[in-house]
Structure formats: C-alpha cells, structure tokens
Amino acid sequence: MFICCAPHGRVGVSTTARLLSDYFLASRRGFVGFDADPHEPDYAPRFSGRVQNVDLASTQGQIAMIDRLLVPDGEAKIIDLWSRSYDRFFTLVQDIGFVEEARSKNVEPVILFHADASQGSPSAAWSLANALPTVETLLTYNEGAAPLGPDAHDKLALYPPHRRIKIGALDTLVSRALQPPDLSLSWLLIEPPSDMSLVVRAGLKSWLTPIFSQFRAFEMRRALEEATWLI
C-alpha cells in the first residue's frame, strides 16, 4: 500500500500516484487507487474504473477507503492524499490502529512523503516519522513541481534519514504532453501515440525510465528483505 502525501499542495503528489499506477500497469499488474481531493481530482479521472474519488472529511469517505485498503487481494493500493486531508488522515490512522490491522491482513503500508522548500516540510516529516516509526517512508522529491534549488542536498539533509525517490524535472514543452487525462504512461513505453512528436516521445521515455527503475529497485529490495527474514 502506497500513501503519496505532503502537508503542502502542488509538490507532485498526484504525479507520483499516477507514476506508481502506470508502473504497475506496465508490468501487467493491477492496482486499486484513491484520490482524496473531492473538489479538483487529478488522479481519479486518469484511471477511470480503477481509482475512486473519496472525501475524507466524511465518515462515508473514510469507510469507503479504509475498508477497501484492508482487503488482502494481492493488488497494490495507491492513495493520492490531498494536502488538506493530510492531518485528518494520519490522525485517523493512529486513532483506529490502522497499521496494526493492515499488517494482520498482510497489507504493508509505505509512505511516500514529498519534500518541498518550505521550512515546515522537514518538521512535518519528523513528526510523521515519530508518530509511525515502524512504517517505511520514502522521501520523495519532484524537481519539477517542488524544486529545492542549488542547495538541495543540504535541504534534504534536514529530513529524517529515509530512502529517497527522485522525480526528475521535465522540459516545459514535453511536460505539456502529460496533461491529457487519457494519456497512458504505461502504454507510452509500449505503443506511443502515432501523433506524438518523436522528440517529445524520447523525452518522456528518458524521464520515465529512471523513475520506474527506482520503483523496481524498491520492490526488489523489499522482496529480498522478506526472503532473508523467512530464512
């Protein structure tokens, strides 16, 4: 289960949820997704039938998402957590003992916390790490949506020592090609749209490849750790 989140908006959370979803589709696997922005959802419209739009301000929305997340069906679960629901969601997670319940059903949560240049972001990451110390967190930074500037290394050092996921920046012209809601990044790698510029196609592929490689490396590491534990 992947929880893509940040306490601040416009830092690339929806992009990461989209990339994870297309990563699983590209590897011929299914997923179940949740878009927690009830007003301007970006993630849900891109994966009709696979991603449910939920309002975590309502009990109905909380039930719809939490109950489905706990189904041990072997499919990846991906949450695009709206920044305005960040505090509410993690308070709920602690209040209901969600992590313990998930693990009892062999569902393992992973948090993808998105960094940004604000002073409050590192402290929010530390607060979350202290609140959920047993949950693996990947510090995710999107160089296009939330650039950290020339002193990025120093700024990232202010965060907890999590493993990292880097989402590279895209050329402005190439990034526009990502906007259509019906563009499938998983199919882009297999069968690119015939009307897409070769230059744009190459730019998107060179952007996607290292991102998918990081996701694959994460999965391989987790699988190796589980195998070692069984031995």
Decide: 125 and 160 in contact? Cβ < 8 Å.
yes
Confidence at residue 145, expressed as pLDDT on a 0 to 100 scale = 98
Query: Within a domain: residue 224?
Result: no
Query: pLDDT tens digit string along 150-201?
Result: 999 999 999 999 999 999 999 999 999 999 999 999 998 888 888 999 999 9
Please tell me the predicted confidence (pLDDT) of residue 69: 99
pTM above 0.85, yes or no: yes
Do the domain assignments include residue 162? yes
Query: pLDDT value at position 14?
Result: 99
User: Is the pLDDT score of 79 beyond 90?
Assistant: yes
Specify the number of domains making up the chain.
Answer: 1
What pLDDT does residue 193 have?
87
Assign residue 20 the CATH number of its domain: 3.40.50.300
Q: What is the pLDDT of residue 192?
A: 86
What confidence tens digit (pLDDT) does each residue in 90-109 have?
Answer: 999 999 999 999 999 999 99
Domain assignment of residue 139, yes or no: yes
Domain contains 12: yes
Q: What is the pLDDT of residue 190?
A: 84
Rounded Cα distance, 64 and 53, in Å? 10
**Range of the structural domain that residue 83 is part of:** 2-169
- For residue 185, being part of any structural domain is answered with no
Could you tell me if residue 192 is inside a domain? no
What are the backbone dihedrals phi and psi of residue 55, each rounded to the nearest 5 degrees, phi first? Answer: -110, 105
Type and span of the H or E element at 78: strand 76-80
DSSP labels, 128-194:
HHHHSTTSEEEEEEETTTS---TTHHHHHTTS-S-EEEEE----HHHHHTT-STT--HHHHHHS--T
What pLDDT is recorded for position 118? 98
| pLDDT at residue 97, as a whole number | 98
- Mean pLDDT value across residues 13-23: 99
